[in-house]
Amino acid sequence: MSVDSGEEGLGTPGSSGATRLPAGWAWVKLADILIAPTSNGRSVRSDDDGFPVLRLTALKDDGVDLREYKLGDWTVEEAAPYLIRPGDFLVSRASGSLSLVGRGALVTSVMEPVAYPDTMIRIRTSPEHIEPRFLAHLWASPTVRRQIERSARTGTGINKVSQSAIREVALPLPPTAEQRRIADALDERLARLNQIEARLGAAQLRLKSLHEEVLATAFGTTEDSIASLRDVLQEPLTNGKSVPTSEGDDGFPVLRLTALTASVVDLSQHKHGEWSAQDAKPFVVREGDFLVCRGNGSLPLVGRGALVPEVHAPVAFPDTMIRIRADCERVLPRYLHYVWASPSARKQIERGARTGTGIYKVNQKLLDEIQLPFPSLDVQRKIVDDIDRALIHVGACATGVSDALMHATALRHALLSQAFAGHLVAQDPDDEPAEDLLKRIRAGREAADAERKAARRAASQAKRKSQAKPKAPAPADVPPPSASTTDAPLSEGEQATLSLEFNA
């Protein structure tokens, strides 16, 4: 049951540079290996006395964390169709981040009954035919991620993937025995890589703490110069404008949200919008402007800001950003950049952010009222110089750690790509070919479907039988009554006559 998905890249059928699968492997759709239909969970309100239902945060890189649940307002009977079991694979239906939508995690064990929510799709295969760990590793591979991200749909900042798109994902399928060998090899290699990434992540956190400590120390002696942001503005805060993307390159450039980096605004990160230079004019940025992210699915990222560097070509900012244009006689641009990243500013932003549909948002009113230290320009220059000197070494270390993490990610992708192209472990010609495996899966699924249909028919017949009304008993043989014994009332002066047997 081969599949031509048209996907590009490693191990993808139908592409010019596709890697040829080894003998005994086959391309399949996810739908081909299911033993039960994919299923969305159910949305339930919280109830302290209810039945457990997983949170979306339960989906981790190393499996489903069954401790991440809430109690839902439903009964055991209502939750029964949504209970998870070992071997189930749960997929995220939506996320504010494209890289997280469709992310999957394996259920390895279940100690207490728990259900999955409407934010997840359940995938159920037979462990006899599909090694669960193999599917979990394959789902994280570049080949599958590309397909999921390409099929995701977005609305109001949320990326979503449907059951139908999930079922159409093309998978390279080796024999079952080879699946287990690949899973074992990946478990061993990725465990070592995970340890390296964990240490690099810990180093990154330490450097972040050191960065915050430098900023907190720098502004610790300026408490007597606290003012609201609105007090130091040259112009009122301004939201950008939403414009459709131009089909060609003839529209006016408008920044993407990805332009907000940790240091400065990357002016090369832009698209062409369907608006004229005249329409865009109020939103064109200039050197020294400070742009702030209006919304994000991650609380630590909402309200983050970046400084606009020297501008060589006109570009506008979009509705996903708020522009801060400070009074240059009151605030140095570099000082604003540093004070905005200080722990005090972050605390106020995160405390005031509002959330809805999984997106945290900040508005002009919140930013206007943020209290920050704005000492004299001479003091600001000294603070900026001190911070620059302190952070130069922190920044160098952070860059090194970031590069190492990027290398680890590239190594992970390469390892997964090699594994699912058949280059990680040796093939065994005695293994059952995947085509034969698919026939057995299909036969088992058809038998299970027939059994379910028969059970539904039997249940339906039993229900109809129990609901049928009992028939009235047949009347006994009695002579028909004579016309004189009817219940019709007698007319005035008429006399009733009795039958002969009563006149004897």
Residue 133: pLDDT above 60?
Answer: yes
Name the DSSP class of 83. B
The answer to whether residue 240 scores a pLDDT higher than 80 is yes
The listed range with the strongest mean pLDDT (17-21, 171-175, 240-244) is 171-175
Task: Judge whether residue 15 has pLDDT over 60.
Answer: no
Tokens matching residue 125:
């295969």
Q: What is the mean pLDDT of the chain?
A: 88
Contact 70, 49 (CB under 8 A): no
In the chain, % helix, strand, coil (3-state, to 5) comes to 40, 20, 40
The per-residue pLDDT for range 110-125, each reduced to its tens digit, is: 999 999 999 999 999 9
Instruction: Check: CB of residue 38 under 8 Å from CB of residue 111.
Output: no
Side chain identity at residue 488, one-letter code: A
Q: Which H or E run contains 192?
A: helix 176-218
CB 332 within 8 A of CB 380: yes
218-232: pLDDT as tens digits:
988 777 789 999 999
- Mean pLDDT of all residues in 233-238: 96
